[in-house]
Structure 1
Amino acid sequence: MGIRKLAAAVHILLAAAHVYWATGATWPAPDERSLSRAVIGGEVSFAPHIVLPLAAFHLLLAVAVLRSDRSALARVVVAGLAAGLAARATLGVAWAFVETDAGTAFHWLNLLLYTPACVALLAIDVRLLQAKWLKRLVIPLPVLGVVLVSLLAYGYQPTAQPSPQPSKDSRYVETPLATFHYLQRGTGAPVVLLSPGASPASAWQPELDALSKTHAVYVVDLPGQGETRLHGNGFAFDLDAMTGALGEFLDQLDLHQVVLGGNSWSGGWGLAYAQQHPERVSKLLVLAPSGLAEPDPASWEALKFPLAGELLAKLGASWSAVQAAVRDLFVHKDLVTPALVDQMWVPGTYRDNVRAMYALERGLDWRVTQAALPRTGQPVLIIWGEEDAVLPVAQAQRFAKLLPHATVRTLAGCGHALTLDCADRVTPLLEEFVQ
C-alpha cells in the first residue's frame, strides 16, 4: 500500500501546483512565459480554464492509483499512465542530449527532475499492474514509438537543394557572422527591405522594381532566410540576434540611416531594430508584421515545443508541404506557380534555414517589441490584407493604437504574402510613403 500512497501523493502535489498557478501566480518563474518554457519546454497559457482541468486530471490519476488493486478500470488507467510515463521518460533522455536545448531551464529540469521522476513513477505503476501482458506492453511500445519519432525529428535532415543561379541584382557581403545575400538596385536615399519570414529576398521583387527608380534599394536575407549563410552554429535566433545581424549588415555597407521595411516576422525585426536604434531608421514600412505579444496560428505555435518543432520543420521542407503553405498565404491562388514554389522551397531545405523555422518561433519574445511601441518615434506605414490567414487583420488597429505615428492601410482581397499577392496595390503605397 505504501507505493500506492507515494505515487498518489505525487499526483496530488501536481494537482495542488496547478491550482496554485490558476490563481495567476508563476513562482518559481518570474512570468507565465518563463514558467511555461521551464515546465513543458514550450509556450502555453496557464489560465484557470487550462490548468484547473489538469489539476482535476491529476486528482483522478491519484484515485486510480489508490484503487488499482480493486478496480479493473483503475488498472486500465494506471496502464495508460505507465505508457505515458514510458514515452515521457524516453523523450526526456532524448532531450537531454539535444544540443540546441542545452543551458535552458527546461534542459536542466528535464535532466535532473522531470525524467528521473517519470522513471520512478513508471517503476511504481508497472509494479501495481497485475496482468503480465500489460506489463510487457506498457514500456516497449511507447519507448519504440518515441525512439522512432525522435530519430526522425533529431536525426533526419532534409536534402539541401542546390542554390539557384544568382539574379542580376544579387550581391554578397562578408561579415564575421555570415555571408549575407542581398539584392541591390537603384541610386539615391537607401531603402532596406528584409526578406519576409521564411521567404527569400526575391519575395520583394515587385517592390524592388518600383522603388529602385527613385531610391537605392537593398533587399537582404537575414540569418535563417534565403541565401544568407551563417559561419557558425551558435546563432541564437532571437530578437537580439536578428537585430544584431541587421546592424552588422548595415555597418558593412556603410548605411547609416535608412527607410526600413519588412513583412511578417521581418516586419517585427524591423520594428525591434528601429526601437533599439532610432537614429538609424528614418521611416518604417511594415506589412502584416509580427511584433504583438499574441499567439501565432496553431501550426506555428506547435513549433515552440521540443521534438514537435524539429519534426514539423523538417517534414515541412518538402516541395508539396511548401506548396500548401504558400497557397495559404495568397488570396490570388493563380500566382502560386511551380516556379514561385521552387523559389520558396529551395532555401527552405538548407540546414540553418530549417533550424530557423522552430528556433525563431521559440526565441522571438514579442512582448519586448510591444512594450516599446508607444516609444517608437518614426513614421510607420502599416499595410495588412483583410483576408490574412496567418496574422489577423484586427492586429493592424492594435498597432495603430500603440504606435504614435502610424498610418494603416488594409487591403480587401489580399492575404499574408502582400509583397506578391497584391503587389500592384502595395507598391504605390510604398512609393508614396518613401518620398
Structure 2
Amino acid sequence: MTSTTRPLSDGATLSYREAGQGAPVVLIHGVGLQSAAWDPQIEALSMTHRVIALDMPGHGGSSPLAVDATLPDFVAWLARALDALELEAVSLAGHSMGALITLGFAAAHPDRVTRAALLNPVYRRSPEARAAVIARADEIRQGQIDLDTPLTRWFGDSSADQAARADVAEWLGAVDLDGYATAYSAFARGDTTYADRIGTIPCPLWAITGDGDPNSTPAMSWAIAAAAPRGRVLVIAGHRHMVNLTAPEAVNAALTDWLASDTEGAKT
C-alpha cells in the first residue's frame, strides 16, 4: 500500500495510507514509526470501515512541526489533518505517542470522536520514569540516538517479535532525526497534559496494552479506564510495547469489538 499526500491549511503536507469504505477509522502511530506500522490493522479493519493511517508530523511523508512543539500542537495538527480529509466525527486509535494525541484530541474535540482506543498508552509516569524519559528526549535532541535499548525493551525472542523488531528497526533507522526529536520531547512531557480531562470524554475509551510493557503498564491502562466515564481495559498476556505488531490477531479482534461498541451518549 502506497502513501498519499495532501496539503493542510497551514501549508504543511500530510501523508497517509487509506483502505476500505464505510465509517472512518483514523490511526496514529508512535514516535519514530510511520503509518505502515498499522498494516495488520489496516488489512483487517478495512473489510468493514474506511481506515486512514496517518504519518505523524516529521515522520514518513508528513511535514514536521516546530522544534519546540508540545503535545497540544500535535493535537491541533490532528484537527487540521481531519479537516483536510473532510472528516467530522471519527473512530480514533493511537499507539504510544499516538495514544497521547488520541486522548488529547478526544478531550479537546469530543464532538469529533465517536470512540477512542489507546494502545500502550502512558499516563502519569512516576517521577523517576518521567526524569528518565525526559533525559532520553534531551539526548535525542543532542543527536545521541540509541535504538538497541528500546528495541530490546519492546520485543521478546519469539519469531513474531523478531520479525516485528526488524520492521520497527527499519522505520526507526529511516526517521527524520529532527522530527523524531520533536515528537519524543512532546511524548516525554505529555503524560499529564490531558490526564485531568479524561473524565470529560463522553465516548467509549478503550486502553489496550501488553502485560510485559514496563513503560506503558497495565496499571496505567487501568487508571485511564477508571478515570473515563466509559473506560475499558484489555491487557494482552505475553506481549510488550508493540502489541499491534506482535499480537495482531488479538488487537484486531479487540478493535473490531471496539468498533462495534455502543456510542450512545457520545457527541456526534
The one-letter code matched in structure 1 to 2:182 is A
More helix by share: 1
Confirm or deny that 1:239 pairs with 2:45: no
Instruction: Write the distance in 1 (CA, Å) between the matches of 2:182 and 2:66.
Output: 12
Question: What do you get for the CA RMSD once the two structures are aligned?
Answer: 2.1
Q: Secondary structure at the match of 1:223?
A: coil
State the Cα distance separating 1:200 from its structure 2 match: 1.1
Confirm or deny that 1:303 pairs with 2:131: no
Q: Which residue of 1 aligns with 2:115?
A: 283
- Name the CA shift for 1:182/1:188 in 2 (closer, same or farther; >3 Å): same
Q: 1:8-407 maps to which residues of 2 (within 5 A)?
A: 168-175=1-8, 176-230=10-64, 234=66, 236-292=68-124, 294-295=126-127, 296=129, 299-303=132-136, 305=138, 308-311=139-142, 314-316=143-145, 321-331=146-156, 332=158, 333-336=161-164, 338-347=166-175, 350-361=176-187, 364-407=189-232
Q: Which residue of 2 aligns with 1:99?
A: none
Please tell me whether the aligned partners of residues 169 and 185 of structure 1 are also in contact (alpha carbons under 8 angstroms). no
Q: Which residue of 2 aligns with 1:127?
A: none
Instruction: Write the distance in 2 (CA, Å) between the matches of 1:396 and 1:419.
Output: 16
Q: Which residue of 2 aligns with 1:433?
A: 258
State the Cα distance separating 1:365 from its structure 2 match: 3.8
Q: Secondary structure at the match of 1:260?
A: strand
Instruction: Write the distance in 2 (CA, Å) between the matches of 1:249 and 1:270.
Output: 13
Please tell me whether the aligned partners of residues 31 and 184 of structure 2 are also in contact (alpha carbons under 8 angstroms). no
The one-letter code matched in structure 2 to 1:186 is G
Instruction: Write the distance in 2 (CA, Å) between the matches of 1:344 and 1:368.
Output: 26
Q: Which of structures 1 and 2 has the larger relative contact order (alpha carbons within 8 angstroms, sep 6+)?
A: 2
More strand by share: 2
The one-letter code matched in structure 2 to 1:369 is Y
State the Cα distance separating 1:236 from its structure 2 match: 3.7
The one-letter code matched in structure 2 to 1:376 is I
TM-score by length of 1: 0.55
State the Cα distance separating 1:235 from its structure 2 match: 5.2
Instruction: Write the distance in 2 (CA, Å) between the matches of 1:235 and 1:190.
Output: 31
The one-letter code matched in structure 2 to 1:284 is A
Identity of aligned residues (%): 24
How many residue pairs get matched? 255
The one-letter code matched in structure 1 to 2:227 is L
The one-letter code matched in structure 2 to 1:360 is A
Q: Which residue of 2 aligns with 1:411?
A: 236
The one-letter code matched in structure 2 to 1:171 is T
- Name the CA shift for 1:361/1:270 in 2 (closer, same or farther; >3 Å): closer
Structure 2 regions of 5+ residues with no counterpart?
Answer: 261-268
Please tell me whether Structure 1 or Structure 2 has the larger radius of gyration of its CA atoms: 1
Please tell me whether the aligned partners of residues 292 and 369 of structure 1 are also in contact (alpha carbons under 8 angstroms). no
Q: Which residue of 1 aligns with 2:265?
A: none
The one-letter code matched in structure 2 to 1:251 is D
State the Cα distance separating 1:384 from its structure 2 match: 1.2
Instruction: Write the distance in 1 (CA, Å) between the matches of 2:170 and 2:191.
Output: 30
